[in-house]
Amino acid sequence: MSKDQQGEQFMVDLLQHLRSSMLYTDLYTAAQEEASKPSIKITELRKGVLSGLVNGGWDRKLQNAIYYYMQTHSCQPHQSDSEHHKEPLVYIRKAQQNWEKKILKSLNSMCTELNIPLAKKRLEQEQKDMLSRWTELGTDGPDLSQIRPVYAPKDFLEVVTGLQNLNYENALTSGSNFHNFWGVIQVPVKVKSIDQLRLQYSEMAVNQCQIGVDDVSDISADLFDVEQTRLSNKVLAAKHAPTAQEYAKKGCPTSARGELWCQIMGIEVTDVDILYYGQLKTSVIQHDLLVDNLLYKDVKLTATNDDHYFVFEDFLYQVVLLPFSRDTVVLKHFEHNSTTPPKSYIRGKLGVEEFAVVYPPNGVIPFHGFAMYVAPLCYVYKDVVTLYYVFRHMYMHYFYRLHSLSSHPQGIVALSSLFERLLQMSEPELFQHLVRIGCQPLKIAFKWLMRAFSGFLASDQVLLLWDRILAFDSLEILSVLCVAIFCFRKTNLMKVTTFSAAEVSVRPQYTPSSYLGRDEPLCDVDLGLLPLLDVQQAGKAMIIGRLRSHVLPSLSVYHIG
């Protein structure tokens, strides 16, 4: 297809999409109302109706609708079912397939071992019982002692680094400069240069005010917060997605975040949505899935033990995780993804395609830490249904990329590579030191990337970070933040000689144990003490103040030359 043809096809699809949307009917009705107003002159019918619609705010709604469509549909050749389109690199496709097979196999063997089916219908009594415990599923839950996470970031990292051998030759011949690259990602994925990133994130430069930074003097930061909060009311009132998104680049005030995010993502919970969520809940109550146990276990292993999130334990099961696994809408994201949803077969029909069903219904097998994609959202939404749709949107637009193989610039492979290259460029000495002691930096940073930092930063910091993911519509900020943390901890890192010491000293919340004297080593000392320790770095203009707040405007931390 030529460029023109592509564009034409895109318009056709867009119009098709709009015509079948709710907005179309609403707009139609509104237009009819306008037309029948007595003030309308028949000679100027078109003009009159149009201006009436504009006055009623319909142009904004239409703009928003097109904007949301553009976010999800790129102006690319339209062959959603072609494997090539989903993932052009054959060896990545293959690796993904192998990985999926491995996950399924371990899921199946868990079934066999524990002698439980992948899914079973609950008895009437069990259903009643479940319903009555709906808001406290955390207590008296199923026996989880035998349940293990199917995989953890560590396992997935192996797969990602395993990509290197496959087509190394290719990479060399394709003219990239991989031979002087020290990292573990050896796949020729395209990543941005620091200059491109600077341009992209220009709003985050050191000289710009930001919400959530306290390196500037109190007064100007306070003033900025006040101003930003005042502005947020205006932005919210405009109900215009691009405006909200632009605004969020400087960070959202806590009280406006929920609504701003919804506007950016185009989430407006309707009766239909509420009904749909209700159906998901019903199907949770009717069927017992093995993945439920995985989700339960995951919450127990992560959020339940986390200072920031333990209060939300029950909320996590109830609101999000269990309904999510039943939600077949989630399957849509596979259209843009090299991943294929795992299939299972109805009992006794193994391998017979007609009896294959996607398992779990949403096609997502949770890994260790999955619940942490949801946990921070509990600070933003108290309405369960809104929280659900926000999470689903974030998963389908961003988070799925963090645990599937692809060569997409937003995929985990590219993010890992971006991290390594930026670090190598800005801190070659540090990188070499770490490699020398057998500590590839990605081995530390990978889990941060994979979980979008949830659980590795204080809750407010995670939210400030996610503001930027939505605002810049990109996950690249994650890699930049990883680099920032390494730069920030350079002094300590240059002194360590083992992997575990490196891992400890780079934790976002860390202070050498010597600081606290008599007690056993402390790894999670909060950051107020840090400037005292990192005097050298503080002087480097890279960090002025506390990491905690710096972590966010990471580009200002990551301030080279």
Sequence-ordered list of residues with C-beta below 8 angstroms from that of 123, at least 6 positions apart, any chain? none
Interacting span for other proteins (CB under 8 A) from 104-112, 248-256, 343-351, 437-445: 248-256
Interacting span for other proteins (CB under 8 A) from 143-151, 328-336, 338-346, 516-524: 516-524
Q: Is 142 in the site for other proteins (CB under 8 A)?
A: no
Cα angle value 13/16/17 (rounded, 5°): 85
Interacting span for other proteins (CB under 8 A) from 44-52, 104-112, 250-258, 400-408: 250-258
> What are φ and ψ of residue 323, in 5° steps?
-60, -35
Query: What are the distances in angstroms from CA 399 to CA 179, 276, 327, 393, 498?
Result: 31, 22, 16, 9, 31
> Closer to other proteins at the Cβ: 387 or 413?
387
Q: Convert residues 38-57 into a mask of x (bound to other proteins by CB under 8 A) and - (unbound).
A: --------------------
Q: How far is the CB of 308 from other proteins (least distance, A)?
A: 6
Q: Is 369 in the site for other proteins (CB under 8 A)?
A: no
> Closer to other proteins at the Cβ: 359 or 466?
466
522, 531, 540, 545: which one binds other proteins (CB under 8 A): 522
> What are φ and ψ of residue 396, in 5° steps?
-70, -20
> Closer to other proteins at the Cβ: 49 or 387?
387
Q: How far is the CB of 229 from other proteins (least distance, A)?
A: 7
Q: Is 208 in the site for other proteins (CB under 8 A)?
A: no
Sequence-ordered list of residues with C-beta below 8 angstroms from that of 99, at least 6 positions apart, any chain? 156, 159, 405
> Closer to other proteins at the Cβ: 288 or 314?
314
Q: Is 379 in the site for other proteins (CB under 8 A)?
A: yes
Interacting span for other proteins (CB under 8 A) from 9-17, 67-75, 97-105, 135-143: 135-143
Cβ atoms of 17 and 70 within 8 Å: the answer is no
Cβ atoms of 405 and 411 within 8 Å: the answer is yes
127, 164, 304, 491: which one binds other proteins (CB under 8 A): 304
Interacting span for other proteins (CB under 8 A) from 103-111, 309-317, 359-367, 479-487: 309-317
> Closer to other proteins at the Cβ: 113 or 520?
520
> What are φ and ψ of residue 534, in 5° steps?
-105, 45
34, 313, 427, 534: which one binds other proteins (CB under 8 A): 313
Residue 287 DSSP one-character state: E
> Closer to other proteins at the Cβ: 402 or 527?
527
- 419 vs 97: CA distance, rounded Å: 25
Q: Is 529 in the site for other proteins (CB under 8 A)?
A: yes
Q: Is 473 helix (H, G, I), strand (E, B) or coil?
A: coil
135, 173, 286, 432: which one binds other proteins (CB under 8 A): 135
**For residue 360, cis peptide bond before it (omega within 30 degrees of 0):** yes
Q: Is 526 in the site for other proteins (CB under 8 A)?
A: yes
Give residues 385-444 in contact with other proteins (rule: CB under 8 A). none
- 514 vs 331: CA distance, rounded Å: 51
Cβ atoms of 422 and 482 within 8 Å: the answer is no
Q: Is 510 in the site for other proteins (CB under 8 A)?
A: no
> Closer to other proteins at the Cβ: 452 or 527?
527
Query: What are the distances in angstroms from CA 545 to CA 5, 221, 549?
Result: 54, 13, 8
- 457 vs 475: CA distance, rounded Å: 16
Q: How far is the CB of 383 from other proteins (least distance, A)?
A: 9
4, 195, 307, 353: which one binds other proteins (CB under 8 A): 307
Q: Is 456 in the site for other proteins (CB under 8 A)?
A: no
Query: What are the distances in angstroms from CA 429 to CA 384, 434, 490?
Result: 48, 9, 10
Contacts 24+ apart (CB under 8 A), 428-435: 429/494, 430/486, 430/487, 430/490, 430/493, 430/494, 431/182, 432/182, 433/493, 433/494, 434/493, 434/502, 435/182
Q: Is 136 in the site for other proteins (CB under 8 A)?
A: yes
Q: Is 132 in the site for other proteins (CB under 8 A)?
A: no
Q: At what angle do helices 3-19 and 22-35 cross, to 10 degrees?
A: 70
6, 72, 106, 254: which one binds other proteins (CB under 8 A): 254
Q: Is 227 in the site for other proteins (CB under 8 A)?
A: no
Q: Is 306 in the site for other proteins (CB under 8 A)?
A: yes
Query: Which residues of the shown chain bind other proteins in the complex (CB under 8 A)?
Result: 135-136, 139, 229, 253-255, 257-258, 304-308, 310-315, 378-382, 458-460, 463, 515-519, 522-526, 528-529
